[in-house]
C-alpha cells in the first residue's frame, strides 16, 4: 500500500487500492484416492490472472468455497501466487461444481 503523508496531493496512483476480488466456478474432475479419506474424492483447479500493475509484490490471498450441498467440499486453497496471478484449488466428495470467492490484497 502507498504510504500517505500529511499535505500529499491526491493522485490516481495514490488512490489505487491494491485489492482485487472475484469468483471462479470449478468442477472437480480429477479423482484422488487417499488413505486419510476412505474412498475417492475429486480435485479441480483454475488459474486466475491479475491485470498488469495492480500488485508490486505477491498479494495476500483469501479463498472461500460456496456450495449448494453442504458438507461435500473438503478443501479450498491456492498455490503459485505471484504479482501476475494465482492458482486456486478445490477438493470435494463428488463432481458437482463449486464457486470459489477470492480476494487478493497488496501486502503492507
Sequential pLDDT tens for the chain (108 residues)? 456 677 777 766 666 568 999 999 999 999 999 877 788 999 999 999 999 989 999 999 999 999 888 788 999 999 999 999 999 999 999 999 999 999 999 987
CATH class of 18-105: mainly beta
CB atoms within 10 A of CB 78: 17
As beta bridge partners, residue 26 has: 98
pTM, two decimal places: 0.81
Domain ranges of the chain: 18-105
16 vs 11: CA distance, rounded Å: 9
Q: What angle do CA 76, 80, 86 make, to 5 degrees?
A: 70
- Residue 76 CA: distances (Å) to CA of 10, 46, 59, 66, 90: 39, 11, 17, 10, 4
Amino acid at each position: 500500500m502507498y504510504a500517505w503523508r500529511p499535505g500529499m496531493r491526491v493522485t490516481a496512483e495514490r488512490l489505487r487500492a491494491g485489492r482485487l476480488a472475484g469468483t471462479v466456478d470449478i468442477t472437480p474432475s480429477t479423482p484422488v484416492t487417499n488413505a486419510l479419506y476412505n474412498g475417492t474424492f475429486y480435485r479441480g483447479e483454475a488459474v486466475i490472472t491479475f491485470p498488469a500493475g495492480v500488485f508490486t509484490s505477491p498479494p495476500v490471498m483469501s479463498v472461500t468455497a460456496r456450495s449448494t450441498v453442504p458438507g461435500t467440499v473438503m478443501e479450498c486453497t491456492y498455490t503459485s501466487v505471484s504479482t501476475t496471478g494465482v492458482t486456486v484449488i478445490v477438493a470435494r466428495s463428488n463432481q458437482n461444481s463449486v464457486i470459489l470467492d477470492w480476494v487478493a490484497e497488496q501486502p503492507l
